[in-house]
Structure 1
Amino acid sequence: MSESHFYHIPKSGKLVPCAKVEDAMALTEQEGSFFWLHYLEPTSEELRPLISLLDLHPLAIEDALDDNQLPKIDDFPSNSFIIFNAFSYADEKVDILEVDFFLGKHFVISIDRIGPDGKPLMDGIQETVMREMAEDRQGPAFVLHTMLDVIVDRKVNAIEAMEDRLAAAEDAVMDRPTDFEPKSLQQIRHILVKLRRSLFHEREVFVKISRKDCPFIPDKAIYQFRDIYDHLARFFELAESLRDIATSLMEIDLSVRSNEMARASNRTNRSVRRLTLITIVFLPLSLLASIGGMSEWTMMTGAENWRITYPLFLLGLVLIGTLSYFLLKWIIRHDDHSDNDGTDI
């Protein structure tokens, strides 16, 4: 839904509503006054007339209508065009939405968007501008600063929400590694990358403003914009730190899962080794028992000597089984000792 509000701002600092852009422009002939045009989800029919009325560049209007641009500042002979981003957090989802500004010698234009919650991103901005207006804060640049300051202050909600989600993910990785879903961590990292990219370009915008590259921002207002730059620099560093933490947690989760797989593999290896040991011990005994259970043993020792030969045969089976068992145990211990020392047999 498209809305537009036009205000003439005299030296008193009060917002005087105007019906049309031309009315606000006509009132700026008074000394020290300027006007503010505030649009909400504007259409091309609303913005393109400003090209001739205020000498706005057509490419800037085209960028303002495209809500998928990176933050930047473009300086033109009669105005400066600024693209900025607002962060919105709702339902565990972060949205990065574009807001646009035009700044001239006697005017400021703001282009707002509707957020995911159905409210304007700069909801209540008129009241904030009136509250911040003072004799030493007169001029389009100070109105622009107020709007940008509100947007930057609201960014902290999304950043703190991501910080809380990352802390919860860290607890899950450490305390409940088997129940943790690594996909959520990947989503957090993806969001942090987008936040970092936006903050990086926004910081560059304020670097140019702080260098006094924008001719429509007076020197006495530069200090206000430098304060916003400090906030953005801190948010950028925080987003960078959170991204590094997310990457570290992904590596920890991978390491924990690898250790679990290694322990499962070791348990399987021990089971197979026990079964192999039993098989090796009983294999020669089975061979001897099969021989002894047939007539060959009786033919070799004589049928009349079975009372002596069969007990001796059984005793031999026990001795061979015992020797095989202890021999295999010694070989296993020797192999384990060699593995621990890193040497080969």
Structure 2
Amino acid sequence: MTQSEIAIPIKHFFEVGSGANLKPIATIEEALALYHSGRSIWIDFSKVTRADLEAIAPSFGLHPLAIEDCFDEEQIPKIEDYATNTFLLFNTYKYEDTELQIGEVDIFVGDRFVVSIGFTNPTNTQCFERLEKAFALYSNNLEGKADVLLHIILDYVVDEKVAAIEALQDEMDRSEVGVLDEPSTFSHEMLMKLRRHLMNLRKSLFHEREILVKICRRDSPFISDKAIYHFRDIYDHLAKFYETTEMCRERISNLMEIYFSIQNNKMTMAANKTNQVMRRLTLITTIFMPLTLLAGIGGMSEYTMMTGVENWRMSYLVLFIVMIMVGVVNFWILKVFESKDL
């Protein structure tokens, strides 16, 4: 299978034959003809319309409810068993520009067919290179094995989640540096956004892990006992991703606690500084209040009348000495009260 052979941008049709390569098919009609003749096929839609699915639904027995789920963007990962096929819904992740984009891959698997929706990307042909390597591992077991093909597809989808999870972890590392080194300029909105992304990841991974549990306990009649062992490997990956997400959520919670603790400490320090300023102002005011009273009395004409006009120099000198003594005594009393925390 070469790049030129799979240049169809939206739809891909393959015969699941023996050997390490899939055999490209030109049209959907040819693919359905091979299926009805007893061969195994894989139909992949990068983008699909309701008319596309309704056209192949009679041949594969696709249930209307499953078709409806393919166009419902609010669906969670799930697995549903029907009479002629099993329907699976998985999520894809892409983290770019601090935003987590969650996509959807819908898969129908039957005895001799696999129909996938949203698995391939017209702008990304590297997935086929990886699929070729995976097919080479099953070169002796691929013929007629739709469940083996399903494992290869799911294994690729799950492995692609690593890039988004690692990108989130890198963003968390940068946020941690910002919280610890530059808390004054760091915005806690990034922590809230990361927390929301991790919650979405956790919800998706939880349901996908449950899907693999059902597959491994042989709930689907279209997945053979021999293929179960391969799906256990996918379950291990999902379990690891789920645990990683849980640890990241705990880490985010710790970072938020650290951030708000730092902010609270800063507010406390600012409040303490304000209290110290107010305390100094209160001290100054308390010292000068009696001095203001004495200055007011000394400034009145009655004071000169009481001391005599000819004694004004001595009287004002005595007034200044008394004011200084009162100020010193007030200051000493306040310091004693402060030292005893009264």
Aligned length: 334
Return the offset for 1:118. 4.7
Amino acid at match of 1:127: E
Are the counterparts in 2 of residues 34 and 107 from structure 1 also a CA contact under 8 Å? yes
Partner of 2:3: none
* CA spacing shift, 1:183–1:274, aligned 2, 3 Å: same
Kept after mapping to 2: 8 A contact 1:196/1:240: yes
C-alpha contact (below 8 Å) 1:281/1:325 kept by paired residues: yes
For 2:298 and 2:152, the matched residues in 1 are separated by 102
TM-aligned CA deviation for residue 305 of structure 1: 4.1
2:136 paired with 1:131: yes
Give the corresponding residue for 1:88: 94
Q: Shift in Å at residue 59 of structure 1?
A: 1.0
Deviation string for 1:287-342 (max 9, x for gaps)? 1122123332333333444454333322211111100011112222333xxxxxxx
| Contact 2:106-2:116 at 8 Å conserved across structures | yes
- The equivalences for 1:103-252 within 5 A come to 103-112=109-118, 118-119=123-124, 122=127, 124=129, 127-138=132-143, 139-252=145-258
SS at match of 1:6: strand
2:87 partner SS: strand
Cα deviation code 1:128-147 (max 9, x no counterpart): 45434321354111111111
Secondary structure in structure 1 of the residue aligned to 2:95? strand
CA RMSD of superposed structures (Å): 2.4
* Rounded Cα–Cα distance in structure 2 between residues aligned with 1:121 and 1:246: 34
Could you tell me which residue of structure 2 aligns to residue 17 of structure 1? 24
Q: Which runs of 5+ in 2 are unaligned?
A: 1-7
What is the CA distance between 1:9 and its match in structure 2? Answer: 2.0
Report the CA distance between 1:19 and its aligned residue.
Answer: 3.1
The one-letter amino acid of 2:271's match is: S
SS in structure 1 at match of 2:160: helix
Shift in alpha-carbon separation, 1:2–1:15, aligned structure 2, 3 A? closer
Residues in 1 aligned to 2:309 and 2:28: alpha-carbon distance in whole angstroms:
127
- Alpha-carbon distance between aligned partners in 2 of 1:145 and 1:278, rounded to the nearest angstrom: 81
- Structure 1 residue 53 and structure 2 residue 59: aligned? yes
Partner of 1:5: 12
Range moving further from structure 2, 261-270 or 292-301: 292-301
Q: 1:113 to 1:219 in 2, by over 3 A?
A: closer
Paired position in structure 2 for 1:272: 278
Measured against aligned partners, the alpha-carbon deviations of 1:51-105 in whole angstroms (never above 9, x if no partner) come to: 2111111111121233442110000111100000111123332211000111111
What is the distance in 1 between the residues matched to 2:231 and 2:175? 36
Shift of the 300–218 alpha-carbon distance from structure 1 to 2, 3 Å rule, reads same
Amino acid in structure 2 at the alignment position of 1:215: P
- Structure 1 distance, partners of 2:167, 2:184, is 25
What amino acid does structure 1 have at the position aligned with 2:16?
I
TM-score norm. by structure 1 comes to 0.89
CA distance in 2, matches of 1:274, 1:302: 39
CA distance in 2, matches of 1:98, 1:169: 29
CA distance in structure 2 between the partners assigned to 1:301 and 1:29 by the alignment: 129
* Mapped contact 1:9–1:36 kept (Cα < 8 A): yes
- Alpha-carbon shift at residue 42 of structure 1 (Å): 1.2
Distance 1:29 1:14, change over 3 A: farther
Q: Which has the higher contact order (CA 8 A, sep 6+)?
A: 2
Offset of residue 173 of structure 1: 0.6
Question: What percent identity do the matched residue pairs reach?
Answer: 43
